[in-house]
Amino acid sequence: MRKQLIKLLSSISPQLMTNLAYKTLTNPQITKLRAHELELLNKADKKKIQFKEFTIQTYTWGNSAHEKILLVHGWEGQAGNFADIIQRLLEHNYYVISFDGPSHGFSSKGQTSLFEFSDLVGQMIKKYACKKLVSHSFGGVATTYALFKNQALEIDKYALLTTPDKFRQRIDYIANYVGVTEKVKNLLIKRLETEMNIAVEAFNVSDFVQEIKVNQALIMHDKNDKVIPISQSQNVSKNWTVCQFKAIEGTGHFRILRTEAVIHTLMDFLND
Q: Could you report the per-residue pLDDT of 121-157, keeping only the tens digit for each?
A: 999 999 999 999 999 999 999 999 999 999 999 999 9
pLDDT in the model for residue 63: 97
Q: Is residue 2's pLDDT more than 60?
A: no
Separation of CA 110 from chain center: 18
pLDDT > 70 fraction of the chain, expressed in percent and rounded: 96
Instruction: Using pLDDT thresholds of 50, 70 and 90, give the confidence band for residue 4.
Output: low
pLDDT in the model for residue 54: 98
Which CB contacts under 8 angstroms, 24+ apart, belong to 198-203? 198/115, 200/167, 200/168, 200/171, 201/166, 201/168, 203/145, 203/166, 203/167, 203/168
Q: Which of 269, 48, 240, 53 is nearest to 147 (CA)?
A: 240
Would you say 253 and 137 are in contact if contact means Cβ atoms under 8 Å apart?
yes
Q: Is residue 1's pLDDT more than 50?
A: no
Q: Could you report the per-residue pLDDT of 28-64, keeping only the tens digit for each?
A: 988 899 999 999 999 999 999 999 999 999 999 999 9
Q: Is residue 232's pLDDT more than 60?
A: yes
We find that the CATH architecture of domain 52-165+204-271 is: 3-Layer(aba) Sandwich (3.40)
Mean pLDDT of the 87-98 span:
98
Domain borders along the chain are 1-25+171-198, 52-165+204-271
Q: Is residue 105's pLDDT more than 90?
A: yes
- pTM, entire model: 0.93
Instruction: Using pLDDT thresholds of 50, 70 and 90, give the confidence band for residue 262.
Output: very high
More confident residue, 12 or 118: 118
Q: Could you report the per-residue pLDDT of 248-259, keeping only the tens digit for each?
A: 999 999 999 999
List the beta strands (DSSP E) in the chain. Answer: 45-51, 54-61, 67-72, 94-99, 132-136, 154-161, 213-222, 243-248
Cα–Cα distance list, 258 to 59, 130, 254, 270 (Å): 19, 23, 8, 17
Residue 2's H or E segment, with its range, is helix 2-12
Cα–Cα distance list, 268 to 31, 157, 263 (Å): 30, 12, 9
